[in-house]
Amino acid sequence: MSANRQDYLLMKHKQASNWWRRRGGSSGRLPVLLGVLTYKVDVNAKDGEGRSPLWNAVERGHKAVVRRLLKMEEVDANSEDDMGQTPLFSAISHGQEAIVQLLIANNKVDINASDRMKRSSLSHAARNGKDAIVKLLLSKGCNDKAADRRGRTPLSWAAANGHDAIVKRLIMADPLCLNSRDNHGLTALSWAASNNRENVVQLLLATEGINVDPQDKSSRTPLLWAASTAEAMRDFKVLYSGDRDVNLWGIMQDLEIIVKLLLENGANVNAKDDCGRTPLSYTAERGYEAIVKLLLDSGADFDTEDCVGGTPLSYTAYQGRTPLSYAAEKGQEVIVKLLLENGADANTKDNNGQTPAQWATKNRHEAIVELLRRQGKTARKRRQWQREGQ
């Protein structure tokens, strides 16, 4: 063979290799791909993100190319990208059900592969709400108990993201996973409650054997998680109260339903976390009246002390201010009435010696000032009568 011919072939091989590395499975034109393969390129060559031609073909949904590559003995069907994810993960992420079927039908593909976070393919599908793919993976014997670095299982991910159909499917596949915990002690119910997933909470509470009050490593129960989520939503409302289209009313309605469902199913209304705070403590602090009323009607104890010596009605995070004090400052007349009706002391002072009435005065909430003064006078008269009667 002449030198010119050799140089030409080397050049063509180099061009083919470069094209393959850059575009490989990205091209959906099978004839082009077959032509390039005649130059004996590295079929597992990776691009700048660590993705092989098979990975890219899967991502783009090129079924014919995927089928052809899988037939090649030298193709690594489990080639990982820079995130440790295999082509199967790519198919799951993009909802490529037909390609998932192609992959899991191939004996070379590891259906229990995990990424850098040790998150399995089934967890990936459950997290992304790919019910049909979850069904496929389970039918092939995929490990439904596989936990990632945080101890989270497919059920945990499905519950946290509100995928009730997948939650139901996973529980049917393995009823024992219902109350399984992650590394922080959270169950599927805890995750659903903390993420405002009313549909999943309802489904889990209707499932035989559910633990309604599992405490995590912070001693929080699902009810405590729901209550603290309500508190966070109030912060969110303050932060995004401008022109943004945020359906906070719908969010808070869902939280109220979750709290009600948990209470109806026997959740401990006075459960404490590791700071001694109760559901009432969290919700009263921010003044979400509907949930506060719900908790009070269910027998919430507002005199129980937390770990810093405060109570739900005298929470001393850093200023010694009570929820009544905050409600008075913010003009929340309904919550002020609720707290007073349930025994809140209108004459308590914070660390700066300020009473709820003084906070209301500063912010010109005249109706609340009058309400607190009347209540304060009534309380003083009651104490005077008690002294005279002794």
Q: What is the pLDDT of residues 250-295, one digit of tens each?
A: 667 788 999 999 999 999 999 988 877 888 878 876 667 888 889 9
Write out pLDDT tens, residues 131-145. 999 999 999 999 999
Rounded alpha-carbon distances, angstroms, from residue 389 to 343, 379, 381 = 22, 15, 12
Whether 50 has a pLDDT exceeding 60, the answer reads yes
Least Cα distance to 9 among 33, 38, 30 occurs for 38
Whether 188 has a pLDDT exceeding 90, the answer reads yes
Q: Residue 150 has what pLDDT?
A: 97
Q: How far apart are CA 144 and CA 134, in angstroms?
A: 10
Q: Residue 70 has what pLDDT?
A: 92
Q: Residue 51 has what pLDDT?
A: 87
Q: Residue 340: pLDDT band by 50, 70, 90 thresholds?
A: confident
Whether 366 has a pLDDT exceeding 60, the answer reads yes
Whether 215 has a pLDDT exceeding 60, the answer reads yes
User: Which pair of tokens denotes residue 14?
Assistant: 């180099």
Is 370 part of a structural domain of the chain? yes
Whether 74 has a pLDDT exceeding 80, the answer reads yes
Partners of residue 120 on adjacent β-strands: 114
Is 351 part of a structural domain of the chain? yes
Please provide the size of the chain in residues.
390
Is 353 part of a structural domain of the chain? yes
The CATH number assigned to the domain holding 385 equals: 1.25.40.20
What value does the mean pLDDT take over residues 303-319? Answer: 53
Whether 386 has a pLDDT exceeding 70, the answer reads no
What value does the mean pLDDT take over residues 172-179? Answer: 96
Is 20 part of a structural domain of the chain? no
Q: How far apart are CA 133 and CA 100, in angstroms?
A: 7
Q: Residue 237: pLDDT band by 50, 70, 90 thresholds?
A: very low
Is 336 part of a structural domain of the chain? yes
Domain range for residue 357?
269-309+317-389
- Torsion, Cα of 126, 131, 135, 138 (10° steps): 0
Q: Residue 388 has what pLDDT?
A: 53
Q: How far apart are CA 11 and CA 335, in angstroms?
A: 79
Q: Residue 9 has what pLDDT?
A: 34
Is 178 part of a structural domain of the chain? no
Q: Residue 228: pLDDT band by 50, 70, 90 thresholds?
A: confident
Q: Residue 30: pLDDT band by 50, 70, 90 thresholds?
A: low
Whether 83 has a pLDDT exceeding 90, the answer reads yes
- Torsion, Cα of 305, 310, 315, 318 (10° steps): -140
Mean pLDDT of the chain: 81
Q: Residue 34 has what pLDDT?
A: 62
pTM for the complete prediction?
0.78
Whether 323 has a pLDDT exceeding 80, the answer reads no
Kindly report the backbone phi and psi dihedral angles of residue 48, in degrees, each rounded to the nearest multiple of 5, phi listed first.
-65, -15
Least Cα distance to 213 among 285, 279, 311, 137 occurs for 279
Whether 348 has a pLDDT exceeding 70, the answer reads yes
Is 380 part of a structural domain of the chain? yes
* Placement of tokens 């035989």 in the chain: 208
Q: How far apart are CA 321 and CA 344, in angstroms?
A: 13
Q: Residue 312 has what pLDDT?
A: 60
Q: Residue 153: pLDDT band by 50, 70, 90 thresholds?
A: very high
Is 286 part of a structural domain of the chain? yes
Whether 110 has a pLDDT exceeding 90, the answer reads yes
Looking at per-residue pLDDT, the higher value among 237 and 59 belongs to 59
What value does the mean pLDDT take over residues 174-196? Answer: 96
Q: Residue 8 has what pLDDT?
A: 34
- Domains in the chain: how many in total? 1
